[in-house]
């Protein structure tokens, strides 16, 4: 991973960087990060965390929509997303 990408990712807004990387084409310089993220979402998160992350980042749903779809509170969605992001951040921090 080049230093600029690492610096932006780990010092910037994690959520925005996460979205930006997931939107990138597989041939981009961030493709290694994207592959690691997708693998981590699939294998390292709980089923609920993975489901919420997929709905939020890949389906473009907001917290209210996810809450309604899953029949859980807004705060449960927010807490689950925060825990999932923290776990992904830790995985990426030690992987890259």
Position 83 confidence tier, pLDDT thresholds 50, 70, 90: very high
Distance in angstroms (rounded) separating the CA atoms of residues 69 and 4: 38
Count of alpha carbons within 13 angstroms of residue 48, beta-carbon side: 12
pLDDT digits (tens, 9 = 90+) for 2-39: 445 444 554 456 677 777 767 765 555 557 777 888 88
Given pLDDT bands bounded at 50, 70 and 90, which one contains residue 78? very high
CA distances from 69 to 42, 56, 63, 95 (A): 20, 12, 10, 33
């Amino acid at each position: 991973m080049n230093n600029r990408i690492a610096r932006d990712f780990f010092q910037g807004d994690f959520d925005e960087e996460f979205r930006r990387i997931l939107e990138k084409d597989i041939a981009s310089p961030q493709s290694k990060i994207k592959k690691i993220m997708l693998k981590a979402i699939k294998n390292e998160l709980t089923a609920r965390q993975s489901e919420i992350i997929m709905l939020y980042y890949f389906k473009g749903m907001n917290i209210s929509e996810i809450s309604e779809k899953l029949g859980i509170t807004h705060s449960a969605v927010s807490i689950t997303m925060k825990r999932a992001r923290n776990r992904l951040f830790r995985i990426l921090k030690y992987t890259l």
